[in-house]
Structure formats: C-alpha cells, structure tokens
Amino acid sequence: MTKTDYDVIVIGGGSTGTAVARDCAMRGLSTLLLERDDIASATVGTCAGMISSGLKYMEEPDIVDMCSAEVVHFNHIARHIIAKDPILTPMLEMSDLSTGGNFAEEYSKRAAERDVPPVLFLTPEDSLEIEPMLNPEIIASMYFEEFFIDPFRLCLLQALDAQRHGADVKTYTEVTDILLEKGAVRGVKVFDRTTGETSEFISSTIVNATGPWAHKIAALAEAPLELRLNKGAHVILDRRVVNVGIVTKAVDGRMIYLFPHENTVLLGTTALDTWEDPDTLTASHDEIEYLIKSMEWVVPSIRDARIIRTMEGVRPLIATWKVPEDDVTRGYEIVDHKTDGVAGLFSFTGGKLVMCRHMAEAVTDLVCEKLGIESECRTDKEPLPGNEDDVDVLALAEEYGISQHTVERMRARRGTETRDILALTRDHPSWKSTICTCEPVIEAEVRYSLRNEFPQTINDLRRRLRVGTGPCQGTFCTYKVAAILAEEKELDSSVANLELLNYLAERWKGKRPSMRGQQLAQEEVVQGLYACVANLDRVVVNYEPGPWEEDA
C-alpha cells in the first residue's frame, strides 16, 4: 500500500522546495515532496544560476553576509556543479563609476571567506587585454569573481538526496486543495497529471514552496498571501561573445549582465511587474531589444551572434509596493499562517536560488519546533550526490576512448557518477554514441538518467542532461532521445511521437520570440526534418497546445 501519512508535506519542486524536502528528510521527518510538473520546471530553471555575493543588494548587509556564507556552503556540498567566472564592469563615462564604490568595499570585505580576490580597478588597457571584445572607448572597469551553479542539477540532487534520506518525491502531482480541520491543515488533495487520478495525503504540517504560485496555494487554505510578481527575460546567444562575465548599466540605468556558459552566453535580465499566469509567459520583443541595445554599448559585436533562444521567469518577490523592483528586498520571509487561523501552513515569499538552503534550514527549524523534534541541520555539511570525491577526467577519457571534452561536460553534471555512467558502456559499447552533439551527451547518460532520475518526458531529460540546449536547440537530438525514451519506458509509438512534438513545441516557445539571422536557417532545418520528411505535421496524435500557445 502506498504511504499517505507524513510528518511534513512540501509543495513545490523548485530550488526552495527541494532544499526543504532534503533538510526535513535529513532531520528524520517523514517527508513528501509534491511537484505538479518536473523538478526545477519553473522559476529556478529560468534563472542565471549565479550564486551571487550580493551584487544587487549591497544596501542590505545582512543579506550579503548570508549569501556570502551560502556560497561557502555550496562550494562545500556541491562543488562539482559549480564554476567560478571572472566578471568585468566596463565603464564608458564618469557617471558609470558612481555605482562602483560601495560595491567594491562590501564585496572585498567578504572576499577572503569565499576564496576570491578583492575587487580590482583596471585601466582600459588591462580590461581590453582580459576581454578584447569590449568597446575600446571604455575609461575603466572593475574586476571581481562570482560562482555559478547548475540550477537544474542542484534541485535534482537535492530531491535525490531527500529520497536517499527516506523522503517520497512525486512529480507530475498537482496540489488542488488543502484539507482543513478546526483551524489547522490536515493534508492535501492532489491530481496525478500522468494517470488523471485524484487522491489525498495527510499531514498536519505543510510547507508552501511554490514560488510565484505561493499565493494561489495559500488561497486553497483560505489564507491571505501577497507577492510582488516580477518577470525577467534572458537571451541565449550561440557563441562565446565574451570570455568573461560583463555587468553593465542598461538603457534605464538598471544593471544587466552577459555571462559566458560553455559555448554560449547568457544575456539578462529585465524586470517588469506582472500579473500574468507564469505558465503563459514568453519573452517579448521589447525585452530582447532592451537587453541587446543595453549590452551593445560595451560589447559592440553582440548583434553578430545568433540568438538561439529566450526564456522568461517570474520572481516571487516580497510584496513591497510603490518602489522600483530594484529597491525591493532580496531577502525572504516565512509566513506562519497560524495567525490567519490556518495552523501548520508555512509559506515562503521572496528569496533567491542562492538562499535556498538557508530558507530550508529556517523553515525546517520551525517545523521541528512545531512537531517537538530536536534535530540539527546538516545540509551545509553533507555533500550532495556526486560530490564525494574528485574525478580524473583525463584518465577516464583515455580508459573509455571518449573525448576529454565529453567526459569533462559529463563530470560537470555528475561528479563521481561519471564513473558509473561510463562503466555502462562496457556491456554496451554502442552507448558511447553521441546523442546530443551540441552539449555533448552520450547515450549511456541518457539511459542512466532514465533508470535513476525519474524523468517522464524529453523536457525532463533536458533538465537532467542538457540535451537540446545547445545551438541547434534539439533539431538533431529530439528524435534520437524520443526513441531511447520509448525503448526504456516501453511507450506506445503514438505516445513517443507526441513526446517528440511536445519537446519541439517547448523549444519553439523559447526560439520564436527572437527569430532572426542564422536562426531562420536552423528553423528551416527543423521544418525540413519534422514536417517535410517525417510528416509529423499530419500524424494523428492528441496534441494539446501549451498555455503559451493559446492564441494558436
């Protein structure tokens, strides 16, 4: 019989919810994590992954302290999925300098604990030597270093680690109601998106970690909750326009950035208040042009690169009104709805990826206190899966006859698991075949993920493996991945073909707003393969348009 009673139910499988589930499970609570879609399928998957020392919130020293400490913790528990990037802030005029002072001081104060150098001020010559693509007319720049984490892997590893500590993790399970009894929560009602069935889970403690949907979940318990929802766009370009990160002032004086990531760069971000359903959002032309125009001043060649996709996410900010988005605190709050007459329900507002472990610790303390359990938080001490040991990429590449680049990319997702994945190719040498050439990803990793990481769709595999995230955006790997998925999960051909179409639709969502230049040729290839040759525009499947395809 399936278990239905839990000490705590966590709703939401983003950075916050997975961190909470991990903490609760590690402290010995029987824990259930419920996510309506896949792990990391919402806001966290659209973020830059910068675990920032606090560039944007220097006015809030407590938060800067907290973030700086969190970076140290992450480097301890998850260093295999973290990379450090140098960053320049090129300045074109004196007024650009005004932003520098306070930041440099605050950053440098905490540099040593993070093992990075203090902020350096560079001459134009030195700046251009570090990054030749900068506008030669710059008058100075600041140099500092920040850490970046793979947000998808972080969430997944937190969820897997929660499982290892006894938690149940249910994806594609949507909370549709909160059961109440005498001024307290009694459990939740859920809808299984895969089977279409409804059921109930019982617990007197519920953590609402649903990011920009938190007010909707609170409303199910008739508890009031206010958020300031603020959307942000990213643009991904097909080449390393720059080799170091760039932070600069946008057309309206906000700060924006350009971060190199593998063979691509990430340009972001905008900040616009929104009242839309986050599921329906795509990047707008204005947002794309705002970002490119702003970055063009300091990196004049940016328009030469091909935009391969855009993404749009919604920040669940603490409700502070009549101030610009930039002035809203970057901190988080935990709302105990007991005061609203709903005991046992805790909701998050605000927060960031970098704070997710901290947020989890705080709420788990409250949960333990409520349940009368004394247990110490260990999430900052015990490594996440894959971080147990160093991995010798060169030796593995040689042992298996696979390129170093391929093995290094796998290591950056997998850490020590790399060894287990490569070992699969001993019995199945053909699994060394490259499935996604852009990233690259080999067949063994696809199979490993399907067997161990509970993906349901190709899009889920993308989050776990990065298949289809490179310059061709899944043109050449989607049908190959669909076939492996069908084989491993014994899918009907109609389900497999529907899966394929769903993934093409998901990629299209991000590509369509920015269609231009070489991307048009890429798109003609997609139509050539899947419509012209495969005739999938005519196959009989029950395709359901996504929320963003409504006007179809």
Ligand X SMILES: Cc1cc2nc3c(=O)[nH]c(=O)nc-3n(C[C@H](O)[C@H](O)[C@H](O)COP(=O)(O)OP(=O)(O)OC[C@H]3O[C@@H](n4cnc5c(N)ncnc54)[C@H](O)[C@@H]3O)c2cc1C
Contact positions toward another protein, by CB under 8 A? 285, 289, 401, 429-435, 443, 476, 479-480, 482-484, 486-487, 492-494, 496-497, 501, 504-505, 507-508, 512-517, 520-521, 523-540, 543, 545, 548-552
- CA pair distance 4, 167, nearest whole angstrom: 12
Q: Which residue has the tokens 């509970």?
A: 454
Q: Counting contacts by CB under 6 A, is residue 269 touching ligand X?
A: yes
Q: Phi and psi dihedrals of 12, rounded to 5?
A: 110, 120
Minimum Å distance from CB 408 to another protein? 18
**Candidates 13-21, 58-66, 384-392, 498-506 — which segment interacts with ligand X by CB under 6 A?**
13-21
User: Nearer to ligand X by C-beta: 80 or 352?
Assistant: 352
User: Nearer to another protein by C-beta: 94 or 540?
Assistant: 540
Establish whether the linkage from the previous residue to 270 is cis, with ω within 30° of 0. Answer: no
Minimum Å distance from CB 431 to ligand X? 27
Helix ranges (DSSP H) in 59-183: 61-77, 94-97, 100-109, 111-114, 124-130, 151-164
Q: Per CB under 6 A, which of residues 521..540 are in contact with ligand X?
A: 524-525, 528-529, 532-533
Measured CA angle at 135 (ends 131, 140), to 5 deg: 75
CB atoms within 10 A of CB 105: 12
Residue 13 contacts residue 43 (beta carbons within 8 Å): no
Minimum Å distance from CB 407 to another protein? 14
Residue 197 contacts residue 299 (beta carbons within 8 Å): no
Q: Counting contacts by CB under 6 A, is residue 20 touching ligand X?
A: no
**Candidates 157-165, 347-355, 361-369, 421-429 — which segment interacts with ligand X by CB under 6 A?**
347-355
- The partner in contact with residue 44, picked from ligand X, another protein, none with C-beta cut-offs of 5 to 8 angstroms by kind, is ligand X
Q: Counting contacts by CB under 6 A, is residue 47 touching ligand X?
A: yes
Task: Give residue 50's identity as a one-letter amino acid code.
Answer: M
Minimum Å distance from CB 491 to another protein? 9
Q: Counting contacts by CB under 6 A, is residue 352 touching ligand X?
A: yes
- Which member of 26, 31, 32, 52 binds ligand X (CB under 6 A)? 52
User: Nearer to another protein by C-beta: 215 or 306?
Assistant: 306
Where is 431: in which H helix or E strand? Answer: none
Q: Counting contacts by CB under 6 A, is residue 68 touching ligand X?
A: no
What separation in angstroms does the CA of 268 have from each of 48, 290, 390?
A: 8, 10, 33
User: Nearer to ligand X by C-beta: 37 or 131?
Assistant: 37
CB atoms within 10 A of CB 262: 15
User: Nearer to ligand X by C-beta: 152 or 503?
Assistant: 152
- The partner in contact with residue 492, picked from another protein, ligand X, none with C-beta cut-offs of 5 to 8 angstroms by kind, is another protein
- The partner in contact with residue 536, picked from another protein, ligand X, none with C-beta cut-offs of 5 to 8 angstroms by kind, is another protein
Minimum Å distance from CB 44 to another protein? 25
SS3 149: strand
Minimum Å distance from CB 410 to another protein? 15
- Which member of 9, 24, 44, 482 binds ligand X (CB under 6 A)? 44
- The partner in contact with residue 238, picked from another protein, ligand X, none with C-beta cut-offs of 5 to 8 angstroms by kind, is none
- The partner in contact with residue 28, picked from another protein, ligand X, none with C-beta cut-offs of 5 to 8 angstroms by kind, is none
- CA pair distance 144, 111, nearest whole angstrom: 9
- CA pair distance 371, 474, nearest whole angstrom: 47
**Candidates 125-133, 209-217, 412-420, 457-465 — which segment interacts with ligand X by CB under 6 A?**
209-217
The upper half-sphere exposure of residue 472, i.e. CA atoms within 13 Å in the direction of its Cβ, equals 17
Minimum Å distance from CB 188 to ligand X? 8
Q: Find the radius of gyration of the CA atoms of the chain.
A: 23
- The partner in contact with residue 9, picked from another protein, ligand X, none with C-beta cut-offs of 5 to 8 angstroms by kind, is none
Q: Counting contacts by CB under 6 A, is residue 37 touching ligand X?
A: yes
Minimum Å distance from CB 236 to another protein? 16
Q: Counting contacts by CB under 6 A, is residue 42 touching ligand X?
A: yes
Strands 206-208 and 345-350: parallel
- CA pair distance 328, 462, nearest whole angstrom: 33
- The partner in contact with residue 469, picked from ligand X, another protein, none with C-beta cut-offs of 5 to 8 angstroms by kind, is none
Q: Counting contacts by CB under 6 A, is residue 210 touching ligand X?
A: yes
**Candidates 75-83, 206-214, 392-400, 401-409 — which segment interacts with ligand X by CB under 6 A?**
206-214
In order, the DSSP letters of 335-398 are: EEGGGGT-BTEEEEEE--GGGHHHHHHHHHHHHHHHHT------TTTSPPTT-SS---HHHHHH
Q: Counting contacts by CB under 6 A, is residue 12 touching ligand X?
A: yes
Minimum Å distance from CB 365 to ligand X? 18
What is the four-CA torsion angle of 242, 246, 248, 252, rounded to 10 degrees? 70
User: Nearer to another protein by C-beta: 41 or 497?
Assistant: 497
SS3 228: strand
- CA pair distance 426, 380, nearest whole angstrom: 36
SS3 259: strand
Where is 420: in which H helix or E strand? Answer: helix 417-427
Of the candidates 373, 465, 454, 468, the one whose C-alpha atom is nearest the C-alpha of residue 421 is 465
Contact partners, residue 296, CB within 8 Å, separation at least 6: 302, 303
User: Nearer to ligand X by C-beta: 17 or 468?
Assistant: 17
Minimum Å distance from CB 517 to ligand X? 15
For ligand X, the binding residues (CB under 6 A) are 11-17, 34-37, 41-44, 46-50, 52, 174-175, 209-213, 217, 232, 234, 268-269, 313-315, 351-354, 524-525, 528-529, 532-533
